[in-house]
A and B are shown apart, each in its own frame.
Chain A
Amino acid sequence: MTDVEVTLTVNGRARTVRVEPRKTLADTLREDLRLTGTHLGCEHGVCGACTVLLDGEPVRACLMFAVQAAGAVVTTVEGLSPGGDRLSPVQAAFRQCHGLQCGFCTPGFVVSATAFLAENPDPTDAEIREGISGNLCRCTGYQGIVRAVRAAADTMAADTQEASA
């Protein structure tokens, strides 16, 4: 099939790729844009490892084609860090709270948790569990992950308070 030219904004930069229409956004991010932080586990919408933000909303990058993202703003796990070696509050909390073990599912969890906290900055534990329910971890790390999301919420609330003080 004929390749199509797709222009999209990824982590703040306009990028143009030539891809087959059947190429998923996830494969395009990894292979054409070399952004391999987005992981592919199941490749059919179950595991959540490939979660990215599309126009600010969490989506499974394996369940849409790159051509569908033309004109959209995509944020991958690489785009969450505030720059340099610094970690975002969610990333830092995952490190502090043992929110990862092997790390395979981590990019998806970090992106999902970031989107979740943007919408619900002061969640209950039940809401946290619901918020990350679309991501699978197979190292039995959910307790640490829930603690990490809680800790990130607390850090972000303290930062907001500080900023407004």
Chain B
Amino acid sequence: MKPAPFGYRAPTSVAETVSALAELGDEAKILAGGQSLVPMLALRLARPENLVDVNRVPELSGARRENGRLVVGATTRHATLEKDPEIAAAVPLLRRAAPYIGHAAIRSRGTLGGSLAHADSAAEWPAVVRALDAEIEVEGPAGRRRIPAAEFFETTFTTALEPDELVTAVSFPVWSPSAGFAVEELARRHGDFALAGVVCGVEVTDGRIDRVALALIGMASVPERAEAVERALVGTAVTDLDLADVGAQAVAHLDPPTDVHGSGRYRRTVGAVLVRRALTAALEEAQQ
């Protein structure tokens, strides 16, 4: 057996989960889909005293429309986000991004909330929730709160979540049905974490951009938005755009990480190209 021994709890409600976390304190780790945590346990990079398995909490899974938003439960699997037609109709970016996550067997188990709580900036969901300004719903002994995506990610593997809180759901705004979306990534092999990537949404009225979001994958310690570029784009006529220049501007403020897979400079060059491609594709879709 590769993981170190741990105590195991499988609560069946959010209330029971919260009280288990309160009781066990820093010694507990939540087990959701396990597609990042279990490898870390196997390699003994993580050795929690206790695992609190949230897979048997029914209220944490599934999606519902609520006040014009789509609320997706934290343990909803990547495969559900990839395949559910109602989820795709409300928030098309979820279906667009899901196929980039790992492989089929990973997507069967991995969860939306788990990916966000893990907070790897090279992953897809952190960039998707940043692009859409989603809110992360969390619950702890002090009650429930909603954390805007912009405030949720603090740095690599670190979020605004308190140790005794769990992610319960993600609330996504629903964009206009005529909006265009795109996800572009470069990875060494399909399914690997991206060297660089872009998540894009855009709405166009009478040939002018009236809403745009560009979130960058793997370009910083957290998923970053190209906010200055977005502000400049709003109100611009699509025909006046120099997309290559927009791509370069969108990544100019970033200092991407250098690692064995690629240098920071390489990531910035690739990121600029991916922004151009994603914006081109999203604009095309928005104008159909």
Within 8 A of B (CB), among A31-65: 43-45, 48, 51, 54, 57-60, 62-65
Contacts of A62 in B (CB 8 A): 38, 42
Complex Cα gap A21–B3 (Å):
10
Q: Check A89 for interface membership: any CB of B closer than 8 A.
A: no
A131 to chain B: closest residue by CB: B104
Asked if B104 and A58 make an inter-chain contact with CB atoms under 8 angstroms apart, the answer reads: yes
Contacts A60-B109, A112-B105, A133-B191 given; indicate if A45 touches B7 (C-beta within 8 A): no
Contacts of B191 in A (CB 8 A): 133-134
Contacts of A131 in B (CB 8 A): 104
Asked if B105 and A22 make an inter-chain contact with CB atoms under 8 angstroms apart, the answer reads: no
Chain A nearest CB from B154 CB (Å) reads: 26
Asked if A133 and B6 make an inter-chain contact with CB atoms under 8 angstroms apart, the answer reads: no
Complex Cα gap A110–B99 (Å):
21
Chain A nearest CB from B189 CB (Å) reads: 8
Asked if A134 and B102 make an inter-chain contact with CB atoms under 8 angstroms apart, the answer reads: yes
Chain A nearest CB from B36 CB (Å) reads: 9
Q: Check A94 for interface membership: any CB of B closer than 8 A.
A: no
Contacts A43-B42, A57-B79, A60-B106 given; indicate if A1 touches B5 (C-beta within 8 A): yes
Chain B nearest CB from A68 CB (Å) reads: 6
Within 8 A of A (CB), among B1-26: 1-8, 10
Complex Cα gap A48–B104 (Å):
10
Q: Check A15 for interface membership: any CB of B closer than 8 A.
A: no
Asked if B79 and A63 make an inter-chain contact with CB atoms under 8 angstroms apart, the answer reads: no
Asked if B1 and A22 make an inter-chain contact with CB atoms under 8 angstroms apart, the answer reads: yes
Asked if A63 and B5 make an inter-chain contact with CB atoms under 8 angstroms apart, the answer reads: no
Q: Check A130 for interface membership: any CB of B closer than 8 A.
A: yes
Q: Check B43 for interface membership: any CB of A closer than 8 A.
A: yes
Complex Cα gap A1–B4 (Å):
10
Q: Check B265 for interface membership: any CB of A closer than 8 A.
A: no
Complex Cα gap A43–B42 (Å):
7
Complex Cα gap A24–B103 (Å):
20
Chain A nearest CB from B258 CB (Å) reads: 24
A45 to chain B: closest residue by CB: B39
Within 8 A of A (CB), among B95-116: 99, 102-106, 108-109
Asked if A63 and B109 make an inter-chain contact with CB atoms under 8 angstroms apart, the answer reads: yes
Contacts A22-B4, A43-B2, A57-B79 given; indicate if A64 touches B109 (C-beta within 8 A): yes
Contacts of B10 in A (CB 8 A): 67-68
Complex Cα gap A21–B4 (Å):
10
Asked if A4 and B105 make an inter-chain contact with CB atoms under 8 angstroms apart, the answer reads: no
CB < 8 Å neighbour of A44 from B7, B31, B43, B51: B43
Asked if A44 and B34 make an inter-chain contact with CB atoms under 8 angstroms apart, the answer reads: no
Contacts of A4 in B (CB 8 A): 8
CB < 8 Å neighbour of B109 from A22, A24, A59, A115: A59
Contacts of A68 in B (CB 8 A): 10, 31, 34, 53, 55
Q: Check B35 for interface membership: any CB of A closer than 8 A.
A: yes
Contacts of B64 in A (CB 8 A): none
Contacts A22-B4, A27-B1, A67-B10 given; indicate if A134 touches B38 (C-beta within 8 A): no
Please encode chain A, from 104 to 144, with 1 for each CB lying within 8 Å of some chain B CB and 0 for all others.
00000000100110000000000000110111000000000
Chain A nearest CB from B192 CB (Å) reads: 10
Complex Cα gap A72–B3 (Å):
23
Q: Check A23 for interface membership: any CB of B closer than 8 A.
A: yes
Which residues from chain B sit less than 8 Å from chain A, CB to CB? 1-8, 10, 31, 34-35, 38-39, 41-43, 51, 53, 55, 79, 99, 102-106, 108-109, 189-191
Which residues from chain A sit less than 8 Å from chain B, CB to CB? 1, 4, 20-24, 27, 43-45, 48, 51, 54, 57-60, 62-65, 67-68, 112, 115-116, 130-131, 133-135
